[in-house]
Structure 1
Amino acid sequence: MNATLNVALIQSHLAWENPVQNRAVFEQKINTIDTEVDLIILPEMFTTGFTMNVIDVAESMKGETINWLQRLAKEKTCAIAGSIIVKDGENYFNRFLFVSSDGTIEKYDKHQLFTLAKEQEVFTAGNDEVIITYKGWKIKPQVCYDLRFPVWARNTSGYDVLLYVASWPKPRVNAWDALLKARAIENMSYCIGVNRVGLDGKGYEYNGHSAVYDVLGHSVLEENPVEKEAILYTTLNKSYIERVREKLPFLADADLFQITPK
């Protein structure tokens, strides 16, 4: 078990519906990381931008991006995470992938589909709560719009890290800031949010604000917010979580109810 977890958040512009270009750009950025990290996190739909044009850009679980993630994770001896558009059977998913250095793939399918963009008309919602165990840390993955729904993030499993990848637009970034902090406080966990920057193919603007909050809602990044392309680094501390939870056992007072998918 790792007492600490070193994490790199890559906040980047995304080329619209261009997986080849996006993989090349992210590989270049990843290759500039000259410090030891355990986990690299990329934004939501990091190969395409937030598009509903799944016919042209969806990949399989044996596609180029999966192979690319496995190769880079092995080369960098760390895990790499982010979401892409996946066709699985007859369904399309906004799928969060967590790829370890040994090639192991863990996945979470976005549960709350963004109705304003008609995401629910194109994608199938995931209904499974996923907890990823990595180097002794329990990580709960979520994708973008999931952030607005606290029950789906509820810490009934004692996870250590709540992790969001997103394409969260600039006009509503105040909600992103507030809700990430709230999810950390109410779940007594670290909360990480990785967002993109730049304009997408529909003209929507994104201004980042990728963030990491501790169990008391304090930012643990040196600079916050950041509104340009950047690689942000942080170190999470397991003993800190344990000390605060022991001193402030708020999770023990929570109502007992189960997450039931809609």
Structure 2
Amino acid sequence: MNPTLFISHGAPNIVLSDLNSKKNIQNISKTLDIPKYIIIVSAHYVTKNLKVINPNANSIMYDFYGFEEELYKVKYEIASNKDLTNNLIEKLRNENIDISIDENRNSFDHGVWSVLSLMYEKLEIPVLQLSIPISYSLSELINLGEKLKIFKEEALFIFSGGITHNLRDMSYNPEMKTYAKEFNEKIKDIIENGDKEKLINIDKDQNFYKNHPSTEHILPLFIAFGNAINKCGKSFNSEILYSNISMESFIFD
């Protein structure tokens, strides 16, 4: 049975850095068996209802601006798979999950390739990317993760987002901002103790919207929690960047 990963992916130029987060993401991959394929959810692919990327997708997108010129020259071979996509759709529909192919999504965003390129220098297995269905409640996202468990024997699940993500309030001050520190510690406690009730109600926390003016970066965590057999995740990276960006990442199972 493959584990479930939640990875705070940070900025795309992590691939050019010497950050501890880069090293820890590289190192976690060394502890894993090679799966038959990968199923990944990224904060940078949000749709109203659940979608899966076009099975013909075989390229990466540079969905960012203002970074080093070198970053726009990064190449990474990655591809989806038609048979695996059709199997995914069939089995999820049998679980009463409405899902369809997104014919217009033909490449992989940086929340996917920046993480995978650190984990796999050469990727030789297919990658299926699911969207974040923004119409789902937090409980429904956890339930979606539960339904996805049927693929864990063959697939490695990676959920790519961020425990905190307030880009407007970043700074180069090395001291972490209180609202980000408190929220990060609360999430870490919830995940390490597998507390579903507290996770479902985390949007009521006074620091939730301070850390997530928009929610797309925290939502993959809910699907990851549902996907885990053992709900108690273990942190494998705890770096803080730009005073309020948590790189906290977890492995479940």
Q: TM-score, normalised to structure 2's length?
A: 0.34
Q: Give the structure with the larger strand fraction.
A: 1
Structure with more relative contact order (C-alpha pairs < 8 Å, separation 6 or more)? 2
TM-score (norm 1): 0.34
